[in-house]
Amino acid sequence: MFWWAKTRYSPSRVSRFCGRWSVICGLLILLAGCGSPEPEVAPDDKEAVVQVFMAQLVEGAITPGTIGFHEIPEKFVQEGKALYARYGCTVCHGLEGHGDGPVSYTLKPPPRDFRDPGAYRIGRDVVTIAGTLTDGMPDSPSMVPFPHIKDEERFKIAMYVASLQPSDDLEIDGAWVRATPPNRDVTAAYLVIRNRSDKARELIAVETPAAEYTELHTMRMIDDMMEMEKIERLTVPPRGEAALEPGGNHIMLFGVKRQLAEADSVILTLRFADAKPQTVTAEVSKDRRPTE
Ligand SMILES: [Cu+2]
């Protein structure tokens, strides 16, 4: 039995009444939407993205295995540097994290020089370093736990410490995207990835705000015909390079959101297994051969 069935309103009065309510309901839904705990984050709202990233770290949703896929906000690194000094890490690790603080000479083993990636015994990624601050190093008398440092602060300090390590030695060069003719929303991006490290790096994904999605493609001879084929990853050899160029491997952009003309530019973020993401600005061009 519906509540209004008991009343004796005429249909027109009922509809007037409901009409008014639907406006109020609409407003309530709007208000509820505004105050909901997990707002949708527009990709260009940088501050919100940064706050969501921090919330995920504190919740433990980002692990040592996945932190490498995130860009570390420079703002947090700077705040971390101030906190690092405020909590007295400098006494042992030094003002710049070189392991040369005033009491360092009295300690055995000596405090870590944060620039040396090979020196970390527990782990050198942001999540693990933040954990080392909570737990200390059980077998080390001087690297004690700091349980009073709040979670957000631990992660900021860890971001500063990790920022002192050398980069992954990847360099992206000569990025360009082929201009799109009218009414075509598919195009390709080309670039050269140089790897100056001693480890092979794998390109696993490319993201861009300019297109709905991208794929890595290679060219293969199939029945005397060159055809494109999707690949899951592209290896950049140690101390070598991988060239993505017309007629060879390339990045395919699907669902390009607006026509790309000469002199436009497109932002590409390259994601690697086991290395930090790299963001580059690619020029739009009708045709170009990669520079030698
Ligand atoms: Cu293709």
pLDDT tens digits, residue range 98-123?
899 999 989 988 899 998 877 899 99
- The answer to whether residue 22 sits within a structural domain is no
Mean pLDDT (the chain, rounded): 84
What is the Å distance from ligand 1's center to 58 Cα?
40
Q: Three-state DSSP class for 207?
A: strand
What's the gap in Å between 215 CA and the centre of ligand 1?
A: 8
- Residue 44: pLDDT band by 50, 70, 90 thresholds? low
Q: Is the pLDDT of residue 43 over 90?
A: no
pTM of the full structure: 0.58
C-alpha 270 – ligand 1 centre gap (Å): 17
46 pLDDT exceeds 90? no
Count of Cβ atoms closer than 10 Å to residue 83 Cβ = 19
Count of the separate structural domains present in the chain: 2
Cα separation, 131 vs 134, in Å, equals: 5
CA–CA distance, 87 with 250 (Å, rounded to integer): 48
| More confidently predicted of 16 and 193 | 193
Residues 176 and 159 in one domain: no
| Residue 155 and residue 175 in one domain | no
Whose CA is closest to 57, among 146, 143, 150, 147? 150
Show which of 104, 139, 163 is a domain's final residue: 163
Q: How far is the CA of 250 from the centre of ligand 1 (A)?
A: 6
Identify the domain containing residue 116 by its residue range: 46-163
Distance, in Å, from the CA atom of 108 to the CA atom of 283, rounded to the nearest integer, reads 53
- Residues 184, 278, single domain; the answer is yes
Residues 175 and 157 in one domain: no
Determine the pLDDT at residue 94.
95
From first CA to last CA, the distance across the chain in angstroms is 80
Burial class (CB in 10 A: 0-12, 13-18, 19+), 189: buried
What is the tens place of the pLDDT at every residue in 49-108?
Answer: 999 999 999 999 999 989 987 889 989 999 999 999 999 999 999 999 989 999 998 998
Q: Where is the domain boundary, 140, 163, 186?
A: 163
Q: Is the peptide bond before 109 cis (omega within 30 degrees of 0)?
A: yes
Domain boundary among 163, 185, 203: 163
What separation in Å is there between the alpha carbon of 21 and the centre of ligand 1?
Answer: 54
Measured in angstroms, how far is the CA atom of residue 212 from the centroid of ligand 1? Answer: 15
Q: What pLDDT is attached to residue 27?
A: 43
Of 192, 162, 198, 158, which Cα lies nearest the Cα of 176?
A: 192
For residue 53, which of 77, 32, 31, 29 has the smallest C-alpha distance? 77
How much distance in Å is there from the Cα of 237 to the middle of ligand 1? 22
| Most confidently modeled range among 21-30, 191-200, 205-214 | 205-214
Nearest to 80 by CA among 106, 52, 49, 114: 114
Distance 186 CA to ligand 1 centre (A): 9
Q: What is the mean pLDDT of residues 227-231?
A: 95
Kindly give the distance from the C-alpha atom of residue 252 to the centroid of ligand 1, in angstroms, as a whole number. Answer: 5
Å from CA of 213 to ligand 1 middle:
12
Give the model's pLDDT for residue 56: 97
Q: Write 143-146 long-range contacts (CB < 8 A, 24+).
A: 143/111, 143/112, 146/87
Give the pLDDT confidence score for residue 219 in this predicted structure: 94
In this predicted structure, the answer to whether residue 241 has a pLDDT above a threshold of 90 is yes
CATH for 217: 2.60.40.1890
What is the whole-number distance in angstroms between the Cα of residue 82 and the centre of ligand 1?
A: 47
Ligand 1 centroid, distance to 257 Cα (angstroms)? 18
206 within some domain: yes
Whether 159 and 51 share a structural domain: yes
CB atoms within 10 A of CB 216: 19
What distance in angstroms lies between residue 254's CA and the mean position of ligand 1's atoms?
A: 10
Q: Is residue 249 part of a domain?
A: yes
Shared domain check, 277 and 184: yes
